[in-house]
Amino acid sequence: MQALKGAEVSAKIKEQVQAILAEPGVQVPRLAIVRVGERPDDLSYERGALKKMEAFGLLAQVYAFPADISDQDFKTAFQAVNEDPEVTGILLLRPLPSQICERDIENMINPEKDLDGISPVNIAKVFAGDETGFAPCTAEAVVEVLKANDIPISGKRVTVVGRSMVVGKPLSMLLLKEHATVTICHTRTKDLEGTCRNAEILVAAAGKSKMLDSRFVGDGAVVVDVGINVDENGKLCGDVDFDSIAEKAAMATPVPGGVGAVTTAVLAKHLAEAARRRSK
């Protein structure tokens, strides 16, 4: 089984970002990372995003707020970031604490600065196949992994396990746009094993540690693992039991070192694209 490493895909996206920055009139963009509280996974993603922006020659600044900030105080602060002309794009780390109405923030964010596809405007564009809308970075990263490794998507049977608005649903729309035949599975899917085994490309985005093993994978399938979990030994792992599928899958993304590295590269690409649009 061939491991599909995210670093190689990220390097290709970096070349695309450099090309955008070299265009006339495009200024080096600035990313605003907005974080409330100090959840470990938020801090981990923040570190990765900051590192990627620096490596790609982009600017980034963290706007951190206490976990107990009030709904109104956060909205006031967020609007200031939203309206700051120095800020080209925004990454909001979610979920937000329960006292903050996340739906209100999704409606507030400027769609032109919404790099992770949380605005209803951008979500609608993704579902309509309109490429001017930024898709959620993780969903787009899956497509980038397949394309960078010359894995055909058109006409293929693709099964997506997970139906969230962060990955499952928008990813299904992106895959349909590439002419795949897409099946979306979830916890209530009957014969989940058989449905997954029928897939030529299997995407695991369920958020459950090592949920999918060799029973779910057809011979020669390509497996993309979006999950980031911690196993019983405290180690990072995905939604797929990587060792278990080695005899059946043709290719698979490891965790860590797979889709995660590409997600932050897509974020950088979206930031560069936002700068390009602003220049015009």
Q: For residue 89, tell me if it sits in a domain.
A: yes
Token pair listed for 272: 């560069």
Instruction: Give pTM, 2 decimals.
Output: 0.96
Which residues constitute the domain of residue 198?
A: 137-260
44-51 LR contacts (CB < 8 Å, sep 24+): 45/93, 45/264, 46/93, 48/260, 48/261, 48/264, 49/91, 49/264, 49/267, 51/264
Per-residue model confidence (pLDDT) at position 234: 81
Amino acid 280: pLDDT: 87
- Adjacency order of strands within the sheet including 89-92: 59-65, 30-36, 89-92
| 43 shares its domain with 89 | yes
The residues, any chain, with a CB within 8 Å of residue 200's CB and separated by 6 or more, are 156, 157, 158, 218, 220, 221, 222
- Do 89 and 196 lie in one domain? The reply is no
Residues 145 and 238 in one domain: yes
| 145 located within any domain | yes
Which residue from 12, 7, 48, 42 is spatially nearest to 253, judged by alpha carbons?
A: 7
Q: Are residues 111 and 177 in the same domain?
A: no
Query: For position 256, which CATH number holds?
Result: 3.40.50.720
Please tell me whether residues 103 and 146 are part of one structural domain: no
Q: Is residue 195 part of a domain?
A: yes
| 90/145 same-domain check | no
pLDDT at 242: 95
Are residues 168 and 68 part of one domain?
no
Judgement on whether residues 51 and 83 belong to the same structural domain of the protein: yes
pLDDT value for 229? 87
Mean pLDDT by 10 residues, the chain (280 residues): 96 98 97 96 93 97 98 98 98 97 98 98 97 97 98 98 96 98 95 97 94 97 93 87 96 96 97 96
Structural domain total, the chain: 2
CATH number at residue 111: 3.40.50.10860
Residue 64, judged by CB atoms within 10 A of its CB (0-12, 13-18, 19+), counts as: middle
Is the residue at 83 inside a domain?
yes
The verdict on residue 132 lying in a domain is: no
* Residue 231 confidence (pLDDT): 81
- In a domain? residue 9: no
Regarding whether 142 and 227 lie in a shared domain, the answer is yes
- 254 shares a domain with 173: yes
* Residue 101 and residue 163 in one domain: no
User: Is residue 10 in some structural domain?
Assistant: no
Quick check: is 72 in a domain?
yes
